[in-house]
């Protein structure tokens, strides 16, 4: 598994980065991005710490740990500047918390995340076809999520991605150790979202491609 959206106790996850990475390796992950929730109050506090721990862990473990961030519940007008600031601080994967069906995420977040050039638009809910086309044009990956609640939008995202050719990535949005998934559970999530085994392979290749662009 490659999983590019997870949380540690630097936001609302349960585990220290070192333990999350250890547990991910234990169940067979090859790479994991640590993408804690941030707004302008904590971005500069979280990112340098994730950069440091990922660098340290990568010296000692076969799994690859990647420092990232999930920009969450920002007024859409703040997103572009925050994406830029996150990258400047060293975030290698910038996720934006999209317009999930289960939270009052500000309308316009999906559009701004795409235009700002986030790497991954997480759980984009009832994203419009125009936005999905724009995501394809801007090379922004749309997320299929294993997380309960957010996953209510998976079928819609799959339908529009199939229609437009937009590219998908599978993530867990892990907050606690039991949210990490094996490949066989990933296949169940994918199948339940209306996709097939080869789509899981394609999504893992998309994740790998995103990682190959990193320094
Ligand atoms: Zn999120
Ligand atoms: Zn998340």
Distance 163 CA to ligand 1 centre (A): 25
Nearest ligand, measured from the Cα of 5: 2
Measured CA to CA, the distance from residue 74 to residue 118 in angstroms comes to 14
Residue-wise pLDDT tens digits, 56-83: 999 999 999 999 999 999 999 999 999 9
Share of the chain above pLDDT 70, in %: 100
Q: Does the pLDDT of residue 84 top 90, yes or no?
A: yes
- Quickly list H helices, 43-75: 43-60
Q: Closest by alpha carbon to 156, among 184, 197, 195, 186?
A: 195
Position 108 scores a pLDDT of 98
Q: Does the pLDDT of residue 158 top 90, yes or no?
A: yes
Contact criterion met (CB below 8 Å) for 5 and 171? yes
Residue-wise pLDDT tens digits, 140-155: 999 999 999 999 999 9
Position 199 scores a pLDDT of 98
Would strands 168-171 and 37-38 be described as parallel, antiparallel, or unpaired? unpaired
Position 179 scores a pLDDT of 98
pTM: 0.98
Distance 125 CA to ligand 2 centre (A): 14
Distance 62 CA to ligand 2 centre (A): 24
Average pLDDT over the chain, rounded to an integer: 98
Q: Does the pLDDT of residue 215 top 90, yes or no?
A: no
Distance 174 CA to ligand 1 centre (A): 10
Q: Quick one: 14 exposed, middle or buried, by C-beta within 10 A (0-12, 13-18, 19+)? A: middle
Distance 58 CA to ligand 1 centre (A): 25
């Amino acid at each position: 598994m490659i999983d590019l959206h997870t949380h540690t106790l630097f936001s609302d996850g349960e585990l220290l980065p070192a333990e999350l990475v250890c547990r991910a390796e234990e169940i067979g992950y090859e790479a994991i991005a640590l993408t804690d929730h941030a707004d302008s109050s904590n971005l500069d506090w979280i990112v340098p710490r994730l950069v440091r721990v990922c660098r340290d862990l990568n010296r000692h473990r076969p799994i690859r740990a990647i420092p990232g961030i999930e920009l969450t519940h920002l007024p859409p007008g703040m997103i572009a500047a925050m994406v830029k600031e996150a990258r400047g601080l060293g975030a290698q994967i910038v996720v934006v918390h999209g317009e999930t069906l289960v939270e009052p995420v500000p309308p316009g977040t999906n559009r701004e995340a795409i235009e700002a050039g986030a790497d991954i638009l997480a759980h984009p809910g009832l994203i419009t076809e125009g936005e999905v086309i724009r995501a394809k044009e801007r090379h922004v990956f749309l997320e299929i999520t294993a997380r309960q609640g957010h996953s209510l939008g998976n079928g819609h995202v799959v339908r529009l991605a199939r229609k437009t050719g937009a590219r998908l990535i599978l993530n867990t949005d892990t907050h606690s150790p039991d949210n990490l998934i094996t490949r066989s559970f990933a296949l169940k999530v994918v199948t339940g979202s209306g996709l097939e085994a080869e789509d899981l392979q394609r999504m893992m290749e998309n994740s790998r491609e995103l990682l190959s662009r990193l320094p």
